[in-house]
Amino acid sequence: MTEKLRTVTRIVRGDATADGAGVQLKRIIGGAELDMLDPFLMLDAFGSDKPQDYIGGFPPHPHRGFETVTYMLAGKMRHQDSAGNAGVIEAGGVQWMTAASGIIHSEMPEQEEGLLAGYQLWVNLPASEKMSAPRYQEISAEAITVEQHDDGLTIRVVAGETRQGNTGVIDNPFVDPLYLVVDAPAGSQLNEQVKEGHNAFIYLSKGKLNVADTARSIQAGELAVLSDGDALRLTAEQDSSFILVSGKPLNEPVAKGGPFVMNTRAEVEQAFADYRSGQLVQ
């Protein structure tokens, strides 16, 4: 059966901004250029060798109605939350936190050799799960499968399943995500399956990529929204590092209010009221 190759439909560069206690980052999804890509609500990329850009971290703050996914490229992030979870995400590790009905957490950076870098992705929850009990998954770098290709390309399989049959360490039945962290030396190729009907994107942190032999290559610092299809073929034109992410769209109303994402404005207002009265966390 002939594969339906995905192509690039849109390029997004994102906006420089600050969050938490002054952490400098780039907001690629959830900003002015791309409000969301269902089920993905936000994607932030952070990375600096200047401690003043990140040392304030993210002091205690609430969430309800979605999941946060933090992947560390360099340095560490210390997590603590109202559900009693605590841990340190190190380089190559991932934290997948399901805020659901409500959680208050802090994320405090710990640099290594002055450097901190990583991604945070917000993944929406269906209406049926927004008020379920919070969950927390923290996976070390050593527990994540690394797929090695003959041309030097490597894939860290965080979520989903690759064409070669390697599966991710994250359990998420709601949007059936694919989350691959790829390092591709110049000249290497990725031929990967991506489920048809799922929204998908590539974010390139370093290098230059060409998708499906098209005229416009993806440059470092760009997010490429992909067309629908069941396969992806790309070539690294330079030594490249990127993430490939896809998920099943929920196709539900979305109401955003700062740290809360619900289906209606009334539900967002209730979340704020619950937080102010101390009822957000049960």
Domains of the chain with CATH codes: 8-276 (2.60.120.10)
Q: Annotated binding site: which residue ranges?
A: 61, 63, 105, 107
Dig out the tokens for 204 from the structure: 């390139």
Lowest-confidence segment of 106-110, 168-172, 181-185 by average pLDDT: 106-110
- Say yes or no to pLDDT of 251 above 80: yes
Q: What is the pLDDT of residue 215?
A: 81
pLDDT of residue 78: 84
Q: What value does the mean pLDDT take over residues 167-176? A: 93
Q: What's the pLDDT at 111?
A: 67
List Cα–Cα distances, 175 to 24, 79, 133, 195, 198, in angstroms.
Answer: 29, 24, 17, 11, 9
Q: Count of CB atoms within 10 A of residue 107's CB?
A: 22
CA distances from 277 to 190, 270, 272, 281 (A): 51, 10, 9, 10
Binding region for Fe cation: 61, 63, 105, 107
Type of residue at 12: V
Q: Is the dihedral of CA 200, 32, 92, 90 positive or negative?
A: negative
Single-letter code of the amino acid located at 112: E
Contact 230, 191 (CB under 8 A): no
Say if residues 110 and 59 touch (Cβ distance below 8 Å): no
